[in-house]
Amino acid sequence: MKFSKMFIPTTKETPNDATLPSHQYLVRGGFIAQTGAGIYDFMPLGKIVLEKIRAIVKEEMDEAGANEVQFGFVTPLSLWQESGRATTMGAEMLRFKDRKNGEFVLSPTNEEAVVNMVKNRITSYKDLPVHLYQINTKFRDEARPRFGLMRGREFLMKDGYSFHANEEDLVREFNLMEATYKKIYTKLGLDFRVVAADSGAIGGSGSKEFHVIADSGEDTIVICDSCDYGANIEAATRKPRHFTAWFENTNTPASMEKVLTQDLKTIEEVSNFLSISKAQTIKAVIKRAIFEDKTQIVVFFVRGDDELEETKACNAVNALELTDATEDDIKEAGLVAGYCGPFNLPSNINFVVDLELKDEVGLACGANEENYHLVNTDLSTLKDVKYFDLVAVQEGDICACCGGKLTYTKGIEAGHIFQLGTKYSAAMNANFLDENGKAKPFVMGCYGIGVSRLVAAVIEQNHDDKGCIWTKATAPFMVDIIVSNSKKEDEAQVGEELYNKLKHAGISTILDDRINARFGFKMSDFELLGFPYAVVIGKKLAEGFVEIVDRKTLEKIDVKVEDVLGKII
Ligand code: ATP
Ligand code: MG
Ligand code: MG
Ligand code: MG
Ligand with smallest separation from the Cα of 218:
1
What does the alpha-carbon distance between residue 424 and residue 461 come to, in Å, rounded to a whole number? 36
Closest CA to 106 of 79, 59, 72: 72
**Ligand 1, atom 24, residue with closest C-alpha:** 151
Helix (H, G, I), strand (E, B) or coil at 370: coil
Residue 334 DSSP code:
H
Terminal Cα-to-Cα distance of the chain (whole angstroms): 19
What does the alpha-carbon distance between residue 532 and residue 427 come to, in Å, rounded to a whole number? 50
How deeply is 9 buried, as exposed, middle or buried, from its count of CB atoms within 10 A (0-12, 13-18, 19+)?
Answer: middle
- Contact present, 99 and 165 (Cβ < 8 Å): no
Q: What is the predicted pLDDT for the residue at 403?
A: 62
- 240-249, 309-318, 414-423, 501-510: which range is least confident on average? 240-249
Closest CA to 368 of 290, 283, 298, 281: 298
Residue 307 reports pLDDT greater than 90: no
Scanning 153-211, the segments in alpha helix (DSSP H) are 167-188
- 26-30, 52-56, 312-316, 512-516: which range is least confident on average? 312-316
Determine the average pLDDT of the residues in 411-423.
Answer: 96
- Contact present, 416 and 209 (Cβ < 8 Å): yes
Q: How far is CA 528 from the centre of its chain?
A: 24
Ligand 1 atom, smallest distance to 201 CA: 10
Among 416, 419, 451, 454, the mutation site with the greatest number of ligand 1 atoms within 8 A of its Cβ is 416
**pLDDT, tens digit (0-9, with 9 covering 90-100), for 123-140:** 999 999 999 999 999 999
- 76-85, 108-117, 315-324, 460-469: which range is least confident on average? 315-324
**pLDDT, tens digit (0-9, with 9 covering 90-100), for 80-98:** 999 999 999 999 999 999 9
Q: Indicate whether residue 217 lines ligand 1 (CB < 6 A).
A: no
- Backbone torsions φ then ψ of 440, nearest 5 degrees: -135, 145
Determine the average pLDDT of the residues in 134-148.
Answer: 96
- Contact present, 483 and 512 (Cβ < 8 Å): yes
Closest CA to 256 of 285, 290, 295, 297: 285
Residue 485 reports pLDDT greater than 90: yes
Q: What is the predicted pLDDT for the residue at 198?
A: 72
Q: Indicate whether residue 338 lines ligand 1 (CB < 6 A).
A: no
Q: What is the predicted pLDDT for the residue at 376?
A: 24
Helices (H) and strands (E) in the chain, counts: 17, 25
- Contact present, 565 and 501 (Cβ < 8 Å): yes
Residues in CB range of 188: below 8 A, 6 or more apart: 53, 56, 454, 458, 471, 473, 474
202 versus 304: which is more confidently predicted?
202
Measured in angstroms, how far is the CA atom of residue 2 from the centroid of ligand 3? 40
Percent of the chain scored above 70 by pLDDT? 69
Measured in angstroms, how far is the CA atom of residue 298 from the centroid of ligand 2? 25
pLDDT tier for residue 270 given thresholds of 50, 70 and 90 = low
Q: What is the predicted pLDDT for the residue at 400?
A: 61
Q: Indicate whether residue 147 lines ligand 1 (CB < 6 A).
A: no
**pLDDT, tens digit (0-9, with 9 covering 90-100), for 449-463:** 999 999 999 999 999
Q: What is the predicted pLDDT for the residue at 553?
A: 97
Give all strands of the β-sheet with 74-76 in edge-to-edge order. Answer: 74-76, 103-106, 94-97
pLDDT tier for residue 204 given thresholds of 50, 70 and 90 = low
Determine the average pLDDT of the residues in 560-565.
Answer: 96
pLDDT tier for residue 327 given thresholds of 50, 70 and 90 = very low
Residues in CB range of 168: below 8 A, 6 or more apart: none
Q: What is the predicted pLDDT for the residue at 71?
A: 98
Neighbours of ion ligand 4 (CB under 5 A): 416
- 18-22, 104-108, 404-408, 447-451: which range is least confident on average? 404-408
Q: Indicate whether residue 450 lines ligand 1 (CB < 6 A).
A: yes
Is the CA virtual torsion 25, 53, 196, 225 positive or negative? negative
Ligand with smallest separation from the Cα of 201:
1
Measured in angstroms, how far is the CA atom of residue 201 from the centroid of ligand 2? 9
Ligand with smallest separation from the Cα of 449:
1
Measured in angstroms, how far is the CA atom of residue 428 from the centroid of ligand 1? 24
Neighbours of ion ligand 3 (CB under 5 A): 413
- 321-330, 504-513, 518-527: which range is least confident on average? 321-330
**Ligand 1, atom 3, residue with closest C-alpha:** 413
Q: Indicate whether residue 108 lines ligand 1 (CB < 6 A).
A: no
pLDDT tier for residue 375 given thresholds of 50, 70 and 90 = very low
What does the alpha-carbon distance between residue 313 and residue 319 come to, in Å, rounded to a whole number? 10
What does the alpha-carbon distance between residue 205 and residue 423 come to, in Å, rounded to a whole number? 10
The CA radius of gyration of the chain, in Å to the nearest whole number, is 28
Does 9 sit behind a cis peptide bond, omega within 30 degrees of 0 on the bond before it? no
Phi-psi region of 83 (alpha: psi -120 to 50; beta: other; left: phi over 0): alpha
What does the alpha-carbon distance between residue 322 and residue 330 come to, in Å, rounded to a whole number? 12
pTM beyond 0.80: no
pLDDT tier for residue 197 given thresholds of 50, 70 and 90 = confident
Q: List C-alpha distances in Å: 213 to 149, 222, 233, 342, 457.
A: 17, 12, 14, 21, 9
Residue 2 DSSP code:
B
Measured in angstroms, how far is the CA atom of residue 457 from the centroid of ligand 2? 16
Ligand 1 atom, smallest distance to 448 CA: 14
Measured in angstroms, how far is the CA atom of residue 230 from the centroid of ligand 3? 15
Helix (H, G, I), strand (E, B) or coil at 190: coil
Q: What is the predicted pLDDT for the residue at 235?
A: 66
What does the alpha-carbon distance between residue 322 and residue 233 come to, in Å, rounded to a whole number? 22
Q: Indicate whether residue 140 lines ligand 1 (CB < 6 A).
A: yes
Residue 249 reports pLDDT greater than 90: no
Determine the average pLDDT of the residues in 73-82.
Answer: 97
- 64-73, 117-126, 134-143, 355-364: which range is least confident on average? 355-364
Q: What is the predicted pLDDT for the residue at 409?
A: 87
How deeply is 498 buried, as exposed, middle or buried, from its count of CB atoms within 10 A (0-12, 13-18, 19+)?
Answer: buried
Q: Indicate whether residue 193 lines ligand 1 (CB < 6 A).
A: no
